[in-house]
Amino acid sequence: MSSTPDRPPLKWSTQFDVLPLEATPPLRGDKIILPPSALEQLLSAATVTISNISQPATANFDPYNPYSFAAERHAREQMVEQQQNLPHPLTFRLVNPANGRIVFAGIREFSAAENVVGLSPFLRQSLGFGGEKGPEEVSGIDHDMEVNRSGVQEADGTFPRLTVHVQEIPKGTYVKLRPLEAGYDPEDWKALLEQYLRDNYTTLTNGEVLAVPAGKEVFRFLVDGLKPNEEAISLVDTDLEVDIEPLNEDQARENLQKLVQKSKRAPGTSEGSSAGGTVDANTNDTGQVRPGEYVDYSLEQWDKGRDLEFELTALDNDKDVDLFVSPFGANHRSKPREEEFVFGDFSSRATKRVKIRHTNADLDNAEALWVSVRGYGESDQDAQGQAPLQYNFRVSSIDGLSISNQDDTTMNDDEPIGPDEERCTNCHQAVPKRTMFLHQNFCLRNNILCPHCHLVYQKSSSEWQNHWHCPHDSFHGNTLSSHTKHDSLMHTSRPCPSCDYEAANTPDLAHHRTTTCPGKLILCQFCHLQVPQQGSEDPSSDSAEVILSGLTPHELSDGARTTECHICSKIVRLRDMSTHLKHHDLQRLSRSKPRLCGNVNCGRTLDGVNKGGEVKVKGPRNDLGVCDVCFGPLYVTMYDPDGKALRRRVERKYLTQLLTGCGQSWCRNGYCKTGRRNIGMAAESQSMSSKEALAMIKPILEGLKEGNVPMHFCTDEASQKRRSLAEMVAAEGDQSRKGKAKERQNMTENSGYEPEWCVASLEATGGDLDKARGWLRDFAPTRAEAAK
């Protein structure tokens, strides 16, 4: 970022002591930390005086009076503004005075102790303060002067010094990178390089070496060209063109050869490993895998009530393949590998088996099962020239009672023998009695019985010569490679690549990485991202809060964010939302059914409901059992203990409806002249006499004495429409209940809702059908739930 014309370039420099590596906070990329006093000095150096030239002259200024100029000048001086404006991004030029190395860096924070500066490992290496070679030595540039590479105190008790200059650099448009090793595939590092630079770097300096980690592999690149500034560029808010060129012609030819060889060994080719893919519970397939590589399978559908058995057999007796299985779900996202698997068999047997019971807790909430076949190779160099290993892979779904853990190679002395047979004392085989003498002579002369595993070998065979038993456990084998493999996997400590845990052996490391390791990948149920289960600021996995909540440390921290409940509009933490919704569900199931208006044409309840699902059940409001809106035209302030006056008013209302009509085009009331014409019950010219009307309403008037007769009053259009929609929604549940017997056994939402709840939902939502369905799901019990 270059300085703008209205702001002069910022100038500031000073010297600091380099903080030892063990005392430096974790820093990544090209980040440094400076003391707070450095920020104060930068703000002081960045103070810019700006005069407001557009300010109009004062009222007393007279351009024709020379004596008023002094007063006007003094008034304008009072209007001068001072601004403290630091450039963005804030970049620094670091110089090691001991060897003259220069590198540019970005600021992390101003939190270091006074007179010291903290450097990231990358900057320590680039400036010559680290234990590894600097970028100039890697690229072939030598320095004659001696430098301090320890990053600790000198012999006289002082720390190495570093000169820090603030310097603005332009945004980069182009960078040329040269791989330091041949064989880099752009498909492997292109996305990694983009993300690594975005997350860790503010600047790029010409001549420095970038080390981009990619799992166990590290891609190293030399920065060999920059534009528009040849010395350094800024990577913030810019589009950067990246050009990759070989370091020299020999590397280019070697790189091309490695890429050609890699394409020949690509998965799915004749010289490469099998492509893997999706399998089912009855798979029986053959494949091949190169030593040191993996073939991944995915089992997505299987009978959850039956056990699973995975069987892997090497078709070449002198070759070794391993079998690893891991569930795939929200709590486990990584494919099974040697250092990260849940189930596995890497013994020396030719046939590997993994048997998983359907009651295993690791299968809970598993979306699929990932199976990996690994071709064992003692070293990567030996594996390069070896041919692919052939294998047979089988998956079967079995009953739980058929699972047996008996070793196929173990001899069973308890097997019954015939009456004419006896068991050889050397090989323990059943031999006819008449040939026992000859058999024992031959057997004792040629065969030998292992006293530990009770297996019989020929004395002159290579299997017996290489036969071994581990003194620490029950494993055994017949080859030197299997002994080496066993010692490497079972009796060699392994550090965890994601934390400081030191595992006793490979199974211990795999168990750690699939359970409590902070770097274990999960799918967070709150941010819906694939993240490590424990970050640097998250609580420990063995804390009481994490254990009691049943969440991972990341989910516990991320779940502390709040959101609004869509039902009650209260602010609730994300991790408490499931419990909060269960309370709403209990309230939904315990709600009393609302009372409908006694008017069959009215779409209201007697007591009213709100959008929050609250139903206020009150006592009877009138003798007709209708809502206040329908009862309004019949209300009078007079004493009527017997209800005779009320029945006369009801009679007059019915006569008015039948003889005159309401005159509304939407009316569908069968006790109204207009409504009868709208629904086709009466012709346009047909009119009803008073005698016919009285006979029609007489049953209603007689039923008023008992108080349980429905009313047929004309109502407004919105209320009548809501009643029709409510009857339609209630009928949907009635139709679903008329299905087959098996469908009726699983009645949940399809069992529908009672008409009272349907009317209440439309009343609360103002007649919106979609919102009414949502209101029913949130606040109303279904017919099946209400019947329990």
pLDDT band for 25, please (50, 70, 90 cuts): confident
Quickly count: other Cβ atoms within 10 Å of residue 83's Cβ.
Answer: 10
- Write down the pLDDT at residue 210: 87
Those residues whose C-beta lies under 8 Å from the C-beta of residue 778, and which sit 6 or more positions away, are: 566, 567, 584, 588, 613
Dihedral sign (CA 246, 252, 254, 257)? positive
- Write down the pLDDT at residue 187: 57
Q: What is the mean pLDDT of residues 52-63?
A: 64
Pair of tokens at residue 95: 């110089």
**In 3D, which of 297, 20, 14, 331 has the Cα closest to residue 150?**
20
74 pLDDT more than 90: no
Please say whether the beta carbons of 116 and 16 come within 8 A: yes
Quote the DSSP letter at residue 710: P
Q: Give span(s): CATH 2.60.120.380, the chain.
A: 277-402
**Could you give the CA distance from residue 225 to residue 231 in angstroms, rounded to a whole number?**
9
**Could you give the CA distance from residue 469 to residue 338 in angstroms, rounded to a whole number?**
23
Quickly count: other Cβ atoms within 10 Å of residue 493's Cβ.
Answer: 11
What's the full length of the chain, in residues?
788
pLDDT band for 104, please (50, 70, 90 cuts): very high
Of 65-79, 84-98, 696-710, which gets the smallest average pLDDT? Answer: 65-79
- Write down the pLDDT at residue 451: 85
Q: What is the mean pLDDT of residues 597-617?
A: 83
Pair of tokens at residue 357: 């019971």
140 pLDDT more than 50: no
The H or E element containing residue 523 is strand 521-523
Spatial strand order in the sheet of 209-214:
209-214, 217-227, 174-179, 241-244
Quote the DSSP letter at residue 402: G
Q: How many CA atoms lie within 13 A of 63 on its CB side?
A: 2
460 pLDDT more than 60: yes
Quote the DSSP letter at residue 35: -
- Write down the pLDDT at residue 255: 63
Of 174-183, 306-315, 770-779, which gets the smallest average pLDDT? Answer: 174-183
**Could you give the CA distance from residue 407 to residue 638 in angstroms, rounded to a whole number?**
98
**Long-range contacts from 441-444, C-beta under 8 angstroms, 24+ separation:** none
Please say whether the beta carbons of 393 and 274 come within 8 A: no
pLDDT per residue as tens digits for the range 705-747: 777 789 999 999 999 999 999 999 998 865 544 444 444 444 4
**Could you give the CA distance from residue 279 to residue 285 in angstroms, rounded to a whole number?**
9
The whole-model pTM stands at 0.66
pLDDT per residue as tens digits for the range 437-447: 888 888 888 88
**Could you give the CA distance from residue 98 to residue 160 in angstroms, rounded to a whole number?**
8
pLDDT band for 52, please (50, 70, 90 cuts): low
102-109 and 116-119 as β-strands: parallel, antiparallel, unpaired? unpaired
pLDDT band for 431, please (50, 70, 90 cuts): confident
Backbone angles phi, psi at 773, to 5 degrees: -65, -40
- Write down the pLDDT at residue 253: 67
pLDDT per residue as tens digits for the range 226-272: 989 889 999 998 888 888 777 666 666 666 666 666 666 667 677 78
Q: Give span(s): CATH 2.40.40.50, the chain.
A: 1-46+85-168
Question: Collapsing DSSP states into helix, strand and coil, what is residue 502?
Answer: strand
pLDDT per residue as tens digits for the range 364-409: 889 999 999 998 876 544 555 678 889 999 999 887 655 544 444 4
686 pLDDT more than 90: no
Question: Collapsing DSSP states into helix, strand and coil, what is residue 380?
Answer: helix
Instruction: Calculate what percentage of the chain has a pLDDT beyond 90.
Output: 32
pLDDT per residue as tens digits for the range 483-525: 888 888 899 999 998 888 999 999 999 999 999 999 999 999 9
Please say whether the beta carbons of 369 and 341 come within 8 A: no
- Would you report the helix, strand and coil content of the chain in percent, each value rounded to 5? 30, 20, 45
Q: Which fold has domain 277-402?
A: Jelly Rolls (2.60.120)
**Could you give the CA distance from residue 617 to residue 567 in angstroms, rounded to a whole number?**
21
CA 409 to chain centre: 44
618 pLDDT more than 50: yes
Q: Look at 596 and 184; give whichever has higher pLDDT.
A: 596
pLDDT band for 149, please (50, 70, 90 cuts): very low
Spatial strand order in the sheet of 284-289:
284-289, 389-398, 307-314, 351-356
Q: What is the mean pLDDT of residues 574-599?
A: 90
* Structure-token match 């329990």, residue found: 788
**Could you give the CA distance from residue 89 to residue 104 in angstroms, rounded to a whole number?**
12
- Mean pLDDT in the chain? 82
- Write down the pLDDT at residue 290: 87
Q: Look at 197 and 408; give whichever has higher pLDDT.
A: 197
Q: What is the mean pLDDT of residues 585-594?
A: 88
pLDDT band for 312, please (50, 70, 90 cuts): very high
Q: Look at 408 and 292; give whichever has higher pLDDT.
A: 292
Instruction: Calculate what percentage of the chain has a pLDDT beyond 70.
Output: 82
Span 1-46+85-168 CATH architecture: Beta Barrel (2.40)
Measure CA of the first residue to CA of the last residue in the chain; give whole Å. Answer: 71
Q: What is the mean pLDDT of residues 136-153?
A: 38
